[in-house]
Amino acid sequence: MVKYCDIFWSFFKVGTFTVGGGYAMLPLMQRELVERHRWLTEEEFLDQVALSQAMPGVFAVNMAAMTGQRLRGAIGSAVAIVGNILMPILFILLLAIFFCTFRDNVYVDRIFMGLRPAVVALIAAPVFALWKNEKRKVKSETDNASHVLRLTSYLSLYLIPILSALLIWLFGVNPILVVLAAALLGLIYGKLKTKN
């Protein structure tokens, strides 16, 4: 039986030594879970990645919860989650205390005047890469499809991202409503597609 401390230590390393969010953790997770400990096969790992993406919430935490549960049930899951987020939370708390204390410091202020536009650029940059990824999928899937299906696929490829961005940005619609509407739309579209 897998030891709790092994689960903890694996996810502790993954959480502590990766910067840049959940997807940046994937290579290290794969090394720990698949290659080093052989807790999961390559295929099981990829299934978990797909599943964590399909679930709401924080991707890395979902991965930790799933792996922990598979290895040692509910407690294993809790151990994996705590291991994954312990150091990040401590780091952020230290920084938050630091910045709330030194907010009016002129040097900190100057640094952040340089950082702010950079951060927005970092958020904007993956938008196009993500969209291209979706475009590639639509292209390969609709190569032999009917005209109607191809038309609706391409329409949704352009309309849905633009519409959801405009609704939130210009009309102040709550993003939660946009997510709900998108899920509903996907459900209706899927039903219509399977019927035909």
Partner 1 sequence: MLFFQLFYTFLLIGAFTFGGGYSMIALIQNEVVTHHGWMTSAEFADLLAVSQMTPGPVGINTATYAGYTAVVNAGYPHWLAICGSLIASFAVIVIPVALVFIVSRWLLRHKDNPLVASVMRVLRLAVIGLIAAAALQLMPTVFSATPTGNISIFNFQFSVFSIIIFLAVFFLSWRKKASPIALILASGVAGLVIYSF
Q: Which of 20, 38, 140, 148 binds partner 1 (CB under 8 A)?
A: 20
- Asked whether the beta carbons of 14 and 60 are under 8 A apart, the reply is yes
Distance between CA atoms of 175 and 164, rounded to whole angstroms?
A: 8
State which residue, 120 or 145, has the beta carbon closest to partner 1: 120
Q: Which of 36, 136, 139, 193 binds partner 1 (CB under 8 A)?
A: 193
Nearest to 13 by CA among 59, 56, 64, 57: 64
Nearest to 150 by CA among 159, 141, 158: 141
Nearest to 25 by CA among 11, 35, 42: 11
Site string for partner 1, 27-66 (x = CB under 8 A): --------------------x--xx-xxxxxxxxxx--xx
* CA-only gyration radius of the chain, Å: 21
Name the helix (H) or strand (E) containing 78.
helix 59-101
Residue 119 sits in the site that holds partner 1 (CB under 8 A): yes
Using CB under 8 A, which of the segments 3-11, 35-43, 86-94, 144-152 binds partner 1?
86-94
Residue 128 sits in the site that holds partner 1 (CB under 8 A): yes
State which residue, 1 or 123, has the beta carbon closest to partner 1: 123
Minimal distance, residue 59 CB to partner 1, in Å:
5
Site residues (CB under 8 A) for partner 1, limited to 65-84: 65-66, 69, 74, 77, 81, 84
Q: Which of 41, 42, 91, 146 binds partner 1 (CB under 8 A)?
A: 91
Residue 17 sits in the site that holds partner 1 (CB under 8 A): yes
Residue 169 sits in the site that holds partner 1 (CB under 8 A): yes
Distances (CA, A) of 73 to 4, 66, 79, 98, 135: 11, 9, 10, 38, 39
